[in-house]
């Protein structure tokens, strides 16, 4: 309905407007069909799922299914569920009458209060209000959720007032019934109490509500969404089989399958202003290392693979790296400042809390040592790729002639230029940065090459009071 046209304010006007009642699943299907036919982007901001996850969601919506998003943490499950709101109408009319807990369909009221009001009034006396699409989505985290929270409970206050316990008026409805004509999402389904799972089973199967043994038959109209981690969802007894069987579509999410996609997500989600009074310039190889750290963590035998390594791990590490570089820029008045390998020394603060480590039988490794090993492996992986593409024999020769270089996140970039007077021409080509002319870029490149050479056992490294010294050993 166009904004310039006044919205109907009563049932008579609504009927004259041509509005037709339809279910939430019909609404989603028809709006999605129009979006598909017009070629518009269906899920803006969702990267890496075009050929895998998104087609499954589209098919599920066209099929009219409730959905379960199954994947490890940080795979955009909640974001995908919330994004389904865009396929709802901008606004939905409902009966604006007293005594009903629902956003009632004007043509098919649920509650006895709404039905009674409609029966006693003429259409032009029945008020209509409008429900915006953003308010038609609600979600709940399963741990700690009680039956009364999402299904409902008998209201003691109403019993005191003399309302019969066996009537609808005695009930306080939970979040799910109140989302009639909307979308409801339950995160971490396997952590949901079994009694609540039974209540959800009733809603999925019969679309009715049972509270304290009193069946209240409602033709609830909604789409129910779930999220879960594979390790808990597939564990016997965590989700009742009857509930699993009623979920129409299982959508399997995944981490970015290419590092460049992970970097694209990183840049998109970081939300950092790299300009300002103390700008930061990030060489692409530093972005590659940050994302590769997450990839290496997902492969590490010291990390709990059932938990996964969230994209938030990359985001937190990236923000920490930028903050460390900016701190140096402020302290040393370097503009712009450029992130270096030594800035990664601060990743323990942002990274360890997001890794669930599996250190059983590996007591000789501390958490910090595990993270340091993951970072070193990531540096080595990226460095070897650069060596393979560009050849670093000339670089290796420069650092293989008795040169000792001290590095650190608070050393001025000019110190690196003093220690390395000549930058090989291959640097500018390999790193696609002006390392020859920009001292800050040169410092970043120097640290990357040194750390890379150490990762492949070409040079040695020693640490003293936060400063790292690289040296060649013949």
Residues 270-290 have pLDDT tens digits of 989 999 999 999 999 999 999
pLDDT of residue 400: 60
Cα–Cα distances (Å) from 208 to 82, 165, 190, 198, in that order, read 24, 18, 22, 12
**How much is the mean pLDDT over the chain?**
87
Domain that holds residue 294: 259-471
Candidate from 72-76, 172-176, 237-241 with smallest mean pLDDT:
172-176
Of 428, 315, 360, give the one whose Cα is nearest residue 73. Answer: 315
Residue 208 shares a structural domain with residue 354: no
Which pLDDT value is given to residue 406? 79
Q: Are residues 272 and 229 in the same domain?
A: no
Look at residue 96 and tell me if it is in a domain: yes
| CATH code of the domain in which 167 resides | 3.40.50.300
Looking at the fold, whether 228 and 340 belong to one and the same domain comes out as no
Same domain, yes or no: 217 and 274: no
Single out the residue in 252, 277, 312 at which a domain terminates: 252
What is the band of 2 on the pLDDT scale with cuts at 50, 70, 90? very low
Name every residue whose Cβ is closer than 8 Å to that of residue 28 and which is 6 or more positions away in sequence. Answer: 61, 84, 87, 88, 223
Our CA angle for 162, 164, 167, nearest 5°, is 135
Question: Which of 59-68, 205-214, 236-245, 459-468 is predicted most confidently?
Answer: 59-68
- pTM for the structure as a whole: 0.85
Residues 435 and 467 in one domain: yes
85 and 175 part of one domain: yes
Given 252, 267, 294, the domain boundary residue is: 252
Residue where a domain stops, chosen among 186, 221, 252: 252
What is the predicted pLDDT for the residue at 166? 53
Same domain, 248 and 272: no
Lowest mean pLDDT among 14-23, 292-301, 393-402: 393-402
| One domain for residues 363 and 442 | yes
- Percent of the chain at pLDDT exceeding 70: 87
Average pLDDT of span 66-79: 94
248 and 301 fall within a common domain? no
- Tell whether 3 is covered by a domain: no
What integer pLDDT is reported at residue 305 of this predicted model? 78
- Same domain as 322, residue 236: no
Q: Is residue 414 part of a domain?
A: yes
Same domain? For 180 and 51 the reply is yes
* Mean pLDDT of the 427-453 span: 83
Residue 372 maps to a domain: yes
Q: Is there a single domain that holds both residue 248 and residue 268?
A: no
In-domain check, residue 459: yes
**Structural domain count, the chain:** 2
Residue 28: pLDDT above 90? yes
- Under the banding of pLDDT at 50, 70 and 90, the label for residue 5 is low
Least confident of 93-107, 424-438, 440-454: 424-438
CB 99 within 8 A of CB 89: no
Q: Which band of pLDDT confidence, cut at 50, 70 and 90, is reported for residue 169?
A: low
């Amino acid at each position: 309905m166009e904004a310039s046209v006044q919205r109907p304010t009563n049932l008579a006007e609504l009927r004259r407007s041509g509005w037709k009642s339809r279910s939430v699943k019909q609404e989603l299907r028809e709006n999605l069909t129009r979006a598909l036919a017009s070629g518009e982007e269906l899920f803006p901001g969702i990267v890496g799922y075009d050929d895998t996850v998104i087609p499954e969601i589209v098919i599920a919506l066209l099929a009219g299914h409730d959905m379960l998003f199954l994947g490890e943490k940080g795979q955009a499950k909640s974001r995908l569920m919330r994004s389904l709101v865009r396929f709802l109408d901008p606004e939905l009319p409902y009966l604006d009458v007293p005594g009903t807990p629902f956003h009632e369909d004007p043509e098919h009221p649920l509650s006895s209060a709404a039905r009674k009001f409609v029966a006693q009034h003429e259409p032009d006396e029945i008020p209509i209000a409008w429900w915006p699409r953003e308010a038609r989505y609600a979600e709940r985290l399963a741990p700690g959720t009680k039956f009364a929270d999402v299904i409902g409970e008998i209201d003691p206050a109403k019993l005191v007032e003399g309302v019969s316990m066996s009537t609808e008026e005695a009930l306080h409805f939970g979040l799910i019934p109140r989302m009639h004509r909307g979308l409801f999402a339950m995160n971490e389904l396997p952590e949901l109490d079994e009694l609540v799972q039974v209540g959800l089973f009733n809603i999925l199967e019969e679309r009715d509500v049972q509270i304290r043994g009193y069946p209240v038959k409602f033709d609830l109209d909604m789409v129910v969404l779930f999220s879960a981690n594979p390790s808990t969802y597939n564990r016997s007894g965590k989700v009742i089989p009857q509930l699993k069987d009623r979920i129409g579509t299982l959508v399997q999410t995944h981490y970015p399958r290419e590092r460049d996609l992970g970097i694209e997500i990183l840049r998109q989600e970081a939300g950092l202003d790299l300009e300002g009074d103390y700008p930061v310039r990030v060489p692409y190889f530093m972005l590659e290392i940050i994302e590769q750290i997450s990839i290496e963590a997902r492969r590490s035998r010291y990390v709990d693979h059932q938990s996964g390594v969230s994209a938030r791990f990359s985001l937190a590490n990236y923000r920490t790296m930028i903050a460390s570089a900016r701190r140096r820029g402020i302290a040393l008045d370097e503009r712009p400042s450029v992130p270096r390998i030594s800035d990664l020394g601060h990743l323990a603060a942002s990274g360890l809390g997001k890794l669930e480590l599996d250190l059983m039988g590996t007591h000789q490794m501390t958490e910090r040592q595990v993270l340091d090993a993951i970072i070193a492996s990531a540096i080595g992986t990226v460095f070897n790729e650069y060596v393979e593409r560009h050849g670093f024999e000339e670089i290796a020769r420069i650092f293989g002639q008795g040169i000792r270089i001290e590095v650190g996140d608070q050393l001025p970039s000019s110190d690196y230029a003093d220690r390395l007077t000549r930058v090989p021409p291959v640097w500018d080509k390999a790193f696609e940065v002006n390392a020859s002319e920009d001292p800050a870029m040169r410092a970043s490149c120097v640290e990357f090459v040194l750390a890379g050479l150490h990762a492949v056992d070409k040079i040695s490294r020693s640490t003293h009071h936060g400063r790292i010294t690289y040296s060649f050993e013949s």
